[in-house]
């Protein structure tokens, strides 16, 4: 997911990872917004995060992101 979107946007791995976390894992219910770490997500939460990114990439940019077990050439 990160290599595909990083390549699409011309961003490094770390830049892409941080941008996705900011977009999808930001919590603004506190006085200062925070960003959840992907390592702190449960398996269910992580799968939901991955689903949200796939749908967003497809709908907003026409970019297909395969499932982890699906063959894909970068």
Distance set, CA 39 to CA 42, 43, 60, 70 (Å): 8, 10, 26, 23
Domain boundaries, the chain: 2-61
pLDDT in tens, 3-12: 999 999 999 9
What was the pLDDT predicted at 29? 79
Residue among 41, 68, 43, 65 nearest 53 (CA): 65
What is the reported pLDDT for 74?
Answer: 61
* 37-70 residue pLDDT tens: 999 999 999 999 999 999 999 999 999 999 888 8
Which residues make Cβ contacts (< 8 Å) with residue 13, sequence separation at least 6?
2, 3, 6
Structure tokens at 45: 């939460």
**Mean pLDDT across 6-29:** 95
């Amino acid at each position: 997911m990160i290599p595909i979107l990083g390549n699409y946007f011309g961003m490094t791995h770390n830049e892409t990872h941080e941008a996705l976390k900011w977009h999808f894992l930001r919590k603004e219910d506190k006085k200062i917004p925070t960003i959840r770490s992907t390592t702190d997500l449960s398996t269910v939460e992580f799968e939901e995060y991955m689903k949200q990114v796939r749908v967003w990439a497809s709908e907003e940019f026409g970019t297909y992101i395969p499932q982890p077990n699906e063959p894909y050439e970068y």
